[in-house]
Amino acid sequence: MRVEFLGAAFLDEASGRGLAGVAGVLAGSLITWAVAQWKRRKERQSVLSGNARDSVVIAQHIVESEEREFPDGTKRRVARTMRIRSLGQERLSAVIPNGHLASIFSERSEEVTMSDPLISMDGVEGTFLLETLTNFVCDRIGNEPFDHDQYVMTPCCEPAELAQHQPITILLVSRSDLELFESFETCREVQVEHSSDGARILTLMTMASQFREEQKVIRQRRAEGESVRFAETMYLLDLALDRRAASFPSKSVQWQRYEALLPATASPDRSAVSAEPVAI
């Protein structure tokens, strides 16, 4: 009788533990499924909204220019066509392995505005981020057999008001070409391959203005013997990039899409500009 009692007790205990184990497995599976569904839903919402800040894209800007005579009799080089070429893409976590820096970078990419789509590279974190992005760019591009030039590099993330697709983009443009985007009056006739590329012209204008002022501050500090540590938010890189590009058809930019960002004197006929926003 005692043996039978002990056997029954063992079976009861085993059954209880078995049921608890099965319940635990089912609960764990349910939680895993729920988390996966939440993650997929979040990713779908990001796709629908155009948010691609989990990706880092390298974009080269090939500028075709010409010499033009202005009303005052002077001749200057002006941009005629701007073409964007992608040089690669990678997950943010792979580009910036340091979790703290990746988090800071992601947060700063959310702080961009229509008038300033450049991601802040201020402070200690900004310097570390620029160093990391430089290594990523050089690793992807390497030493190609093309002419070397000075390229200005800085990251941006054009918001939804400017771009339908919003990845973090590392801008690369030669220093001499960037100077052509310092004034809207000399940029308004620049041709692009896609209508939405007009937003990039505005981004390059912001980049050119900030780069000019930044270099002025750096030169002044060096002349006065002061440190320029953390003063750079854009890096000058020695790169050998292929500046050739197939001549895809180009078109003028419909500047009425960006009326709110243009100077008050930018539009030749403001009465012809629609008061309603145009989808980009």
Q: What does the pLDDT read at residue 52?
A: 83
State pLDDT tens for residues 231-249.
999 999 999 999 999 989 9
Q: What does the pLDDT read at residue 140?
A: 92
pLDDT mean over 177-193: 93
Tell me the pairing of strands 51-69 and 75-91. antiparallel
| pLDDT, greater one: 13 or 258 | 258
The dihedral built from the CA positions of residue 209, 191, 255 and 272, taken in this order, carries a sign that is positive
User: Is 36's pLDDT higher than 90?
Assistant: no
Q: Which residue has the tokens 């005579």?
A: 69
Report the range of poorest mean pLDDT among 26-30, 128-132, 142-146, 152-156.
26-30
Q: What does the pLDDT read at residue 2?
A: 53
Which residue, 148, 155, 149, is CA-closest to 131?
A: 155
User: Is 116's pLDDT higher than 80?
Assistant: yes
Share of the chain above pLDDT 90, in %: 61
Two tokens at 193?
A: 């391959």
How far apart, in whole angstroms, are the C-alpha atoms of residue 207 and residue 234? 9
Distance from chain centroid for Cα 237 = 18
String of DSSP letters for 76-130: EEEEEEEEEEEEEEEEHHHH---HHHHHHHHHHHHT--SS--BPP--HHHHHHHH
| pLDDT, greater one: 41 or 28 | 28
State pLDDT tens for residues 66-81.
998 888 888 889 999 9
